[in-house]
Structure 1
């Protein structure tokens, strides 16, 4: 069994402030270690379920956050950014049996995580076919484009609920919940146990229960915080500048959706 892991940090246990997720700031080292521990726990759960090959995409900020010396010998890792439209899912292809999402957070425009955002802090809101879309939404559809079921997610309570609504059969583990600028979290050690056990359970079941069908048509509406960002990105082919801060585009091809998002959000 081949397993793909996309790893972020803002949904890891006890994460609360931006200082804890940006390289070089006060809390980063502690939570870089927690991010690594949660990914290792996911690897251990996957291995226990029979995974023979695990590919990890370090998918936060620089793409160089995980402490690679702590990764198990049966895992491989993609670091930094290639520029490919798959972004946080780069390295995924149809040869994988399952996709896992570790340390994920809720979408921009939600209130279940003090660090909720989508792609970057310039984006106020992203919707796909009228529904609020998170990074998980975008990446789960990327997995579906390759015929790979999204089977497990850990993160804040809000993204866990959103993930279950999109893929009812998948397993989610909520390690924290936001209240304004505060969080309520399980202990880091408890989070590791829950992730390890949750991944093993999810991969030991019928993976087809997590199959996600792509919509036939995608209407994407992206609202920036600043009108100048929308104006600058409005010249990408096929993009409609519908309101001062808002861009809209429609496609039947999800790879084209990914390519458009990639180029208008940089």
Structure 2
């Protein structure tokens, strides 16, 4: 069994402030360790379920956060950003049996995490076919393009709820709940134990149904915090103004949605 793990940070147990996720801040090293611990736990759970190959995409900010020396020696890690539209899922293909997501967080416009966003804080809201979009929604659809089911997600309460609505049957570990600028969180030790056990459970059952619904046509809308970004982005081929500070793009091919999103959010 071959497993892909997309690892983010803002949904890691204990994280509450932007400084804890910023590699240039003194707070960061301790929380970088907690992010790594959750990935190691997911790897251990996958191995317990019979995984023979694991690829991890470091998918937070610089793409260079995980303490690579802490990862199991037979794991392959994808670091940095290639520029490929698969983004946080770069490295996945149709050879994988399942995708897992650690440290994921609530979408832009949600109140479920003090650090809620979708890709960048310059965005106020993203929708796909009228549905508010999280990074998980976009990434699960990316995995589905390759026929890869999404079996597990850990993160805050809101993203876990969104994941279960998008992919019925997905296993989740809720690490925290946001309350304004505060969080109520599991301890890291409890979170890693839960992640390990839940990943093992998730991968020890049939996975074929764990795919989000795919549509024949997609409309992506991005509402920016300022008109400056909206004006710049509407020059992307096929994009159009779609209301105040909002740009839309349509395609039948989800890969084209991914490509537009990559260039429109830079």
TM-score (normalizing by structure 1):
0.99
- Residue by residue over 1:66-123, the C-alpha shift from the partner in whole angstroms, topping out at 9 and shown as x without a partner, is 0000000121000000000000000000000000000000100000000000011100
CA displacement at 1:250 relative to structure 2: 1.2
Distance 2:212 2:206 in 1: 14
List structure 1 segments (4+ residues) > 4 angstroms apart after TM superposition. Answer: none
Q: Answer yes or no: is 1:80 the counterpart of 2:94.
A: no
Cα RMSD (Å) of the superposition?
Answer: 0.7
CA displacement at 1:124 relative to structure 2: 0.5
Instruction: List gaps (5 residues or longer) in structure 1.
Output: none
Q: Answer yes or no: is 1:125 the counterpart of 2:163.
A: no
CA displacement at 1:35 relative to structure 2: 0.3
Aligned residue runs from structure 1 range 48-63, under 5 A: 48-63=48-63
Instruction: List gaps (5 residues or longer) in structure 2.
Output: none
Quote the residue 1:19 is aligned against. Answer: 19
CA displacement at 1:209 relative to structure 2: 2.8
Distance 1:127 1:212 in 2: 16
Partners of 1:56 and 1:78 within 8 A in 2 = yes
Aligned residue runs from structure 1 range 202-217, under 5 A: 202-217=202-217
Quote the residue 1:199 is aligned against. Answer: 199
- Secondary structure of 2:178's match? strand
Quote the residue 1:238 is aligned against. Answer: 238
Q: Answer yes or no: is 1:5 the counterpart of 2:8.
A: no
CA displacement at 1:244 relative to structure 2: 3.4
Aligned residues: 266
Aligned residue runs from structure 1 range 244-259, under 5 A: 244-259=244-259
Distance 1:26 1:124 in 2: 28
Distance 1:98 1:71 in 2: 19
Aligned residue runs from structure 1 range 74-113, under 5 A: 74-113=74-113
TM-score (normalizing by structure 2):
0.99
Partners of 1:157 and 1:175 within 8 A in 2 = yes
